[in-house]
Amino acid sequence: MTHPFDLSGRVAIVTGANTGIGQAIAVALAAAGADIACVGRTPAQETVGKIRDLGRRAEIVAADLSTIEPVRRVVDETVARLGGLHILVNNAGIIRRADAVDFTEADWDAVVDTNLKSVFFLSQAAGRHMIAARHGRIINIASMLTFQGGIRVPSYTASKSGVGGLTKLLANEWAAKGVTVNAIAPGYIATNNTAALQADEGRNKAILDRIPAGRWGDAADLGGAAVFLASDAAAYVQGHILAVDGGWLAR
């Protein structure tokens, strides 16, 4: 490796890699030298093309992470097709919006199962492989709602608060085993998940008025943080939640 941020020879799983934050992180890791397994229920052909254009290997691993059924296969298939597993980015997630008094059990379970339960069990499957190798990097995608309550997204807030706690728990257990576990908390990023907020004139203005940077984030703004946490430069960073938020939490 030529510098501490070099990911040459590393293999990464990125869930939800077909678009938005997942795609941006997958491409950033590839630009730093990693080969990528693009995991999700929607095939990530565009992402794979971008990665291969950078001269890196990329494979699509089809998996619906609304249940934990595919998690072991995701790890096994990645190792078989790309020759190893060194980095896991738990990005796949969904959101459902409704007033708390009207929120349904189905919307609660759908979000928590995808955003928290599958994150744990995929981390567990990857962690077993990484612990055996005495090396690994797990990066969870948290949220501003890991720190705050938000409105009209009770299951999303609960799941992302859980991601923050889970990140620290796994770091506590696995730090001495060669595996780092950290999280990135994106601020307000212009993606499909935030389209409803961007389209709401009042909410959009209120959000922009609070962000010191004065703009919505772009998914590409998260790439550098992901490369850092995946790299040897972050070998002594454990259980940290890195906000990439344009200053939102500082306001």
**Confidence at residue 122, expressed as pLDDT on a 0 to 100 scale:** 98
In CATH terms, the superfamily for domain 11-191+220-243 is NAD(P)-binding Rossmann-like Domain (3.40.50.720)
Angle at 224 between CA 166 and CA 91, to 5 degrees: 40
Which residues of the chain fall short of a pLDDT of 70?
1
Residue 188 is among the residues annotated as catalytic for this protein: no
In sequence order, what E strands does the chain have?
Answer: 11-15, 35-40, 58-62, 87-90, 136-141, 179-186, 241-244
Structure tokens at 49: 């093309």
Q: Which 3 state secondary structure label does DSSP give 133?
A: helix
**Confidence at residue 61, expressed as pLDDT on a 0 to 100 scale:** 98
* The overall pTM is greater than 0.95: yes
Q: What is the pLDDT of residues 134-143, one digit of tens each?
A: 999 999 999 9
**Confidence at residue 226, expressed as pLDDT on a 0 to 100 scale:** 98
Point out the catalytic residue in the list 120, 156, 228, 248.
156
**Confidence at residue 224, expressed as pLDDT on a 0 to 100 scale:** 98
Phi, psi of 100 (to 5 degrees): -55, -35
Structure tokens at 107: 């919307």
**Confidence at residue 195, expressed as pLDDT on a 0 to 100 scale:** 87
- Tokens 């992402």, residue located: 47
